[in-house]
Amino acid sequence: MAGILETLTVPRPSSALSPIVCSSRVSGRRSVVKLPETNGLKVKSFGSVSLRSNESVRRGNRIVCEAKEATEVLPVNDGSWQSLVLESEIPVMVEFWAPWCGPCRMIHPLIDELAKEYAGKLTVYKVNTDESPAIASRYGIRSIPTVIIFKGGEKKDAVIGAVPRSTLCTSIEKFL
């Protein structure tokens, strides 16, 4: 049947600044492709591949990986709290939640959107209060969801409950 016509070399995380190199077995040419910096990939099908500048080959069900924007808010725990939150160079927003909490599940998509919107200006993490009760206790978390904003390693603001987007944005904007 059909063989692989192109290969894609993706750098390891330690060499994340290296460009991605594509090569074709048919033409033997190598070309550098610069993709935006992201934390994930999505798959997209397309119908034809251009192997040379003047010819195009029809291929069914070809797949290309396309960069997608990161939307996942990463968890933080007792072991990573100091380095990720308190020693951060930029402001940090932390959502305190638990898997059994209905309002917490309601605001997860909002927290993900805000993480994407403020990427580079604000880092966003989540703390599962069932798995890290010491952190929750240290900051007096008595009700979840609670969102706390830290700047320079200090607690600056807290928002309790499933609040609208505008409330969280107002709180974030104060510390950027």
Point out the catalytic residue in the list 22, 65, 101, 169: 101
Q: Which helix (DSSP H) or strand (DSSP E) does residue 111 occupy?
A: helix 102-117
What angle separates helix 102-117 from helix 165-173, to the nearest 10 degrees? 50
As a whole number of angstroms, the distance between CA 98 and CA 103 comes to 10
CB half-sphere exposure, 148, CA atoms < 13 A: 21
Is 101 an annotated catalytic residue?
yes
Is 65 an annotated catalytic residue?
no
**Single-letter amino acid code for the residue at 62:** R
Residue 121's contacts (CB-CB under 8 Å, 6 or more residues apart) are: 90, 91, 176
As a whole number of angstroms, the distance between CA 148 and CA 142 comes to 13
Residues with catalytic annotation? 101, 104
